[in-house]
Chain A
Amino acid sequence: MNALRLLLLFFRLGAMNEVQYRANFWIQLVRTAMNLGFALFAVFIVYEQTTHLNGWTMPELVVLMGVWTLMGGLVGVVVQPSMEKLIEDVREGTLDFCLTKPEDAQILVSLSQVKVWRLLDVLVGPIVIALALAHMGKATGWQESIAFAVTLLSGSIILYSFWLMLSTVSFWFIRIDNILMIFHSMYDAARWPISIYPGWMQAMLTFLVPVAFAVTVPAGALVGRLPLHWLVGTIVLAALLLALSRWFWKVGLRHYSGASA
């Protein structure tokens, strides 16, 4: 498919670009190790004091951490850098270069930047998950595996759509160059199963910034904690948000083209 070809192309370009800054590789390695180390450390400190956190055992929480890392990596490889570039382009007026090309603009802006080294997170996440599952002893059934795959995919789509919508807002509010911080702050809260939070916070993390779907849901699916209606809800939401974000993108684009001198 065309998008796939473009993705590979941008990937190669991004890789070559990244590799120049040799420090970046080591930095990302350290960063991934640090993030993981810190996440595990936090879990460790908590489980020094208790065996269950809102019903989640320590290995289950480690699975959650693994999913958190994996998702963070998926977003960080291409979605985040591309959206950051989009916001910058809108601010500088250089989005025009993208719009005059014959490919669909949304695809182009969504794939424009690749940070290869974030793949380390995508690698490490599943390893952590596998180790935690192994430690738990019980075998993961095919139902859980499928549910996991489906929710992972849906979660990614939801996150991508959310990022796109957030970045599209910058078409109107150019001066908020840190709008993406909203995601980072909320994503930090997704390190823990959202059931620990009071109702209003859970609502925020589900409906306002849908990080719940990115982390708790797939992790829950994998360890067999996901009620069926959540599974269905995730799939429906993914489809909905994808359509909504595309529509919103088009609105934003119209606004941008009309406004530019």
Chain B
Amino acid sequence: MSRGFGDIYLTLFGLELSVMFQYRAAVVIWLLGLVLQPVVYMVVWLRVAEAKGGKVGDFDAGSIVAYFLVMMLVNHATFTWHMFEMGWRVRSGFYNAILVQPLHPWHRDVLANVAYKVLALGVILPVAALLAWYFEPTLQPPLWAVAAFVPAVILAFFTRFLFEWALGLLAFWITDTSGLNNLYMAFILIFSGRLAPLDLLPPILQTIAAWSPFEWMVAFPVELLLGRLTPEQTMHGLAMQVLWIAIGFAVMQLTWVRASSRYSAVGA
């Protein structure tokens, strides 16, 4: 049975990759925003550091650049867009076809998501390299941090995916979820360290971030690769990620069960 599952995943992944490739122009356009935003904040904080004589907090110019470039890559690896599509899906009767099939719909979204990212790497890696050449980051993490980085990113991906997919399901209750989605985007921008490194935020916000899943979705792997964490902090972080994945999974499943029972199958 598990071998069957692997076969399913591989086949479906290949299909999603093919479809995504058809939309490669749109993929590039999405990437524009993904790349631009961290660069904007990077520049802002560079100017702040300049105004303060070279350093803001314990970040100098080189580490600011490193932070935001790594942030760009981790954000790319973990972001999802499905919450923006759900409204349309519910209204158009898209789920009519999906719900009759014996496969939990979230699998297909995971595969589409990963397919997009794999394809986008072809653009985002050269762009990151170019930006690194221009802005000159300083990045010298210890080897163990580099090794821990990969599982941290994978765990971060699932944490973020579960919560954002569950958020998207609110479209089964609310006709227009764009407001909620934007609210969420604002929160994650702040508390996952994309607006500014968490250490530069007022202490109370840092506490909120640590208690929320957001820090573990993005900021944690970034800080890890920058070599800013001790091994103890890293273990703690990975544990937090696992915890939030468990919570996220429960939330997602519960929401899905209620959403599908509420489904009024409008559309054709």
Contact = CB atoms under 8 A, between A and B. Distances in A.
A and B touch in the complex (CB under 8 A): yes
Interface of A: 21, 23-24, 26-28, 30-31, 34-35, 37-38, 41-42, 45-46, 48-54, 173, 175-179, 181-182, 184-186, 188-189, 191-192, 196-198, 201
Nearest to B56: A49
Residue from B32, B134, B180 having most chain A Cβ neighbours under 10 A: B32
Given A45-B200, A50-B51, A189-B36, A182 B29 contact: yes
Nearest to A50: B51
Contact of B26 (A21, A49, A54, A178): A178
Nearest to A188: B37
Interface stretch (B40-48, B70-78, B245-253): B40-48
B102 interface: no
A34 B186 contact: yes
18 contacts: A21-B175, A30-B179, A45-B196, A46-B48, A46-B196, A48-B202, A50-B48, A50-B52, A53-B51, A175-B22, A175-B23, A176-B25, A176-B29, A178-B29, A181-B32, A182-B29, A184-B33, A188-B36
Given A46-B44, A50-B52, A28 B37 contact: no
Interface in B101-139: 134
Most buried by B among A30, A38, A53: A38
Contacts of B30: 178, 181
Interface residues of B, number: 38
Contacts of A52: 51
A21 B48 CA distance: 43
B176 interface: yes
A37 B186 CA distance: 10
B12 interface: no
B26 A42 contact: no
Contacts of A179: 29
Interface of B: 22-23, 25-26, 29-30, 32-33, 36-37, 39-40, 43-45, 47-48, 51-52, 56-57, 134, 174-176, 178-180, 182-183, 186, 189-190, 195-196, 200-202
A208 B52 CA distance: 32
* A-side interface mostly: helix
A236 to B, nearest CB: 27
B28 to A, nearest CB: 9
Nearest to A185: B33
Contacts of B183: 30-31, 34
A41 to B, nearest CB: 7
A202 to B, nearest CB: 11
B36 A175 contact: no
A175 B186 contact: no
Given A34-B186, A192-B40, A49 B52 contact: yes
B42 to A, nearest CB: 10
Contacts of B25: 173, 175-176
A41 B190 contact: yes
